[in-house]
Chains A and B, each alone.
Chain A
Amino acid sequence: MSTETGTGQAVSATETMTIREAIREALREELARDEDAFLMGEDIGTFGGVLSVTGDLVDDFGEERVRDTPISEAGFMGAAVGAAATGTRPIVEIMFSDFLGVCAEQILNQMAKNRYMFGGKAEMPVTVRTTEGGGMGAASQHSGTIHTWFAHLPGVMAVTPGSARAAKGLLKSAIRSDDPVFFFENKDIYEQEGEVPTDEDYTIPLGQASVEREGDDVTVVATQRCVGESLDLAEELAGETSVEVIDLQSLYPMDTETLLESVEKTGRLIVADESPLSYGTHAEVVARVQERGFFSLDAPIQRVGVPDTHIPFSPALEREVMPDADGIQAAIDRVV
């Protein structure tokens, strides 16, 4: 099949793969492409990653390039910063994003600030991959969605793919970038399948959203798992309400233009993201759209997210707080 992507890149061939496979393929291709790139994290080598993302990469690239670390996030995050500043291209895996607090210093004060503090005279080509999200009964310390913290942090970029295609295209851009990029994987959708370009030069620019389904009545801009929930809902509602679904893809930089174009058409906007609702990713989208698209709006913008709780353990409780198609449907019903 042949399609035209939002980047204008002609894509000649695709393959059906899961998000987990798409991430592994992106890593495989970039390790093969650039000898300075290497992976570092806990149990990512022979064990293949605790959520099986790195898989067999150690067999192809060896233990130097798929490097198991001690359980020492501050140590290896700091080492990644020092390594990146001196000419390598580390790709760090933090097993669960909840653990980013353990190594926050090296991110907040070193990785994010060195280029600027040194007057632009330091490169910082680090990619940090980590997992987010509820749905596994993993309880509060292994289920958080904290990408807003990093999208808010000046000096780093943050991306949140919602499809296999986005996962591969964004991760390749992240690895090739000379800036620090946080790549947030929602662990509940690792098995979600999609069509992924096989061209090794296929990338998605950081800072680009993707219109996944066109519609006229309401726009749902979603991230990660909420993209699939929104697409399923849009399909269900077809004929009744015409829903446009956008995968935001990149939290920072953010593709405000694509959001504004969509809202100009639909006049209504729902923001669906699995982070807590207060002071968050939702709020940033709302602010940007109202600043520049206020007069396109026909209804108040609605937010769908976690109602400012942690993610509880019991399946009965976990389902209660996780944003899903029902919540998005309710938000649409409020404004359409």
Chain B
Amino acid sequence: MVTIDIKAESGQREMLRRMLTIRAFDTRAGELFADGELPGFVHLYIGEEAVGVGAISALEPDDYITSTHRGHGHCIAKGLDTYQMMAELYGKRDGYCNGKGGSMHIADVDAGMLGANGIVGAGPPLATGAALTASYKDEDRVALAFFGDGAVAQGQVHEGINLAATWDLPAIFVVENNHFGEATPVENQHNVEHLSATAEAYNIPGFTVDGMDVTAVYEAVEEARARAAAGDGPTFIEADTYRYKGHFEGDHEPYRTKDDIDDARERDAIDRFKTRLVDAGVITDAEFDDLEAEVEAEIDEATERAQDAEYPDPSEAYEDMFGAHVPEIEEFAARVRTDGGERQ
């Protein structure tokens, strides 16, 4: 059973809702960062919503994903709770990582979300490992790795795909080609026109889809999942998309013009999907407006709750290093702190 059935009208509305949720969440995250509310860095997924939602909706709920530094969209598409995400962005205890991870490391392993990741290209070998577990335990699960066009130049991406292909593991590799690896255009980082051409080296199917068409992404991943689950190995999908915002918030973006962004917005994934659903009578303009308002209210509530939530106690910095008790950490912590209470 897929996570969301695109053939059902309710499924189409849910996919639209998740794309709107991603856009609203990341728009808010960008504003909060600009206001100095959020520590650290944030990398926004605005413009790329169709890739995460299209791909994850076509997976089964128990399937695994690995994500990137630009991971909020993958989390929301995977069904993660926007309050716990926002609390993590604030470094609050209620966050997915109890405040230890932040924007770049949101994970919910039980939900199959194996982590956003601050290291470009680290995800594919991890997804190969999750696919290895599924294969080893003979479970009907697949693992999908999201990674960017920049990551395709990383050696460990090659190694992860090669291993999955050689062992016929149930993995799917999805490149989100948003046309920039940080601040460098894709054509200055690769010698192929389509990144999907690299699939040939692994003797696996590889193709490029319109990453701003949620249906196209969904159908590609649905096919890839069927192939993976049948034991026929991985598929390499390049989703051609575009990042509306900078690499990180605060990026002054000297590498492109406003016109470039406006051109990309012409094929905006949300606008196109909405138009399609309105034309098909799945949703009315008024219902769309209501949906947008509901999503906005959800993000308002998530933000307010996250603002009010408690920070972790400083003593929690010493927890979670190991499953086992390690005396060193306790001893060194005791030197930092006095009698288990306030820091000196």
Chain A residues packing against B (C-beta within 8 Å): 36, 38, 64, 69-70, 72, 74-88, 90, 105-106, 109-110, 114-123, 154-155, 157, 177-179, 206-207, 252-254
Contacts and interface: CB of A to CB of B under 8 A. Distances in A.
B323 A119 contact: no
Contacts of B327: 207, 253
Interface in B100-139: 100-101, 105, 107-110, 114-115, 117-119, 122, 124-134, 136-137
A122 B109 contact: yes
Given A115-B321, A119-B99, A179-B324, 19 more contacts: A36-B137, A38-B136, A70-B159, A70-B162, A76-B125, A78-B129, A79-B125, A79-B160, A82-B66, A109-B122, A114-B107, A114-B115, A118-B96, A118-B105, A121-B107, A121-B108, A121-B109, A177-B324, A178-B323
Contacts of B328: 252-254
B38 interface: no
Given A82-B133, A86-B130, A118 B66 contact: no
Contact of B64 (A72, A78, A86): A86
A94 to B, nearest CB: 14
Given A114-B115, A118-B115, A70 B163 contact: yes
Contact of B326 (A76, A120, A207): A207
4 shortest A-B CB distances, which residue pairs?
Answer: A82-B129, A78-B125, A75-B159, A120-B320
Contacts of B108: 121
B122 A105 contact: yes
Contacts of A74: 125, 155-156, 159
Contacts of B162: 70, 72, 75
Contacts of B319: 120
B255 interface: no
Nearest to A108: B119
Contacts of A75: 125, 128, 156, 159-160, 162-163
B166 interface: yes
Contacts of B119: 105, 109-110
B97 to A, nearest CB: 4
A82 B136 contact: no
Nearest to B320: A120
Interface string B196-230: 00000000000000000000000000000000000
Nearest to B326: A253
Nearest to B160: A75
A78 B128 contact: yes
Given A88-B136, A119-B98, A83 B129 contact: yes
A318 to B, nearest CB: 32
A165 to B, nearest CB: 22
A77 to B, nearest CB: 7
Given A70-B166, A253-B326, A121 B97 contact: yes
A84 B129 contact: yes
Nearest to B126: A82
Contacts of A70: 159, 162-163, 166
Interface residues of B, number: 50
Contacts of B128: 75, 78-79, 82
A254 to B, nearest CB: 7
A207 B331 CA distance: 14
B143 interface: yes
A74 B109 CA distance: 22
B114 A88 contact: no
A119 B320 contact: yes
B132 A88 contact: yes
B159 A78 contact: yes
Interface in B164-189: 166
Contacts of A36: 137
16 contacts: A75-B159, A78-B129, A82-B130, A82-B131, A83-B132, A84-B129, A85-B114, A85-B130, A115-B322, A116-B321, A117-B105, A119-B99, A121-B96, A155-B321, A177-B324, A178-B323
B132 to A, nearest CB: 5
Contacts of B130: 82-83, 85-86
Contacts of B129: 78-86, 90
A76 to B, nearest CB: 6
B342 to A, nearest CB: 23
Contacts of B99: 119
A83 B127 CA distance: 8
Contacts of A85: 109, 114, 126, 129-130
A119 B101 contact: yes
Contacts of B110: 121
Contacts of B118: 109
Nearest to A86: B133
Nearest to A112: B321
Which of B96, B101, B129 has most A Cβ within 10 Å?
B129
A115 B159 contact: no
| Residue of B131, B156, B328 contacting most chain A CB atoms (<10 Å) | B156
A205 B93 CA distance: 33
Contacts of B124: 78
Contacts of A110: 117, 119, 122, 126
A82 B132 contact: yes
Given A72-B162, A109-B118, A82 B100 contact: no
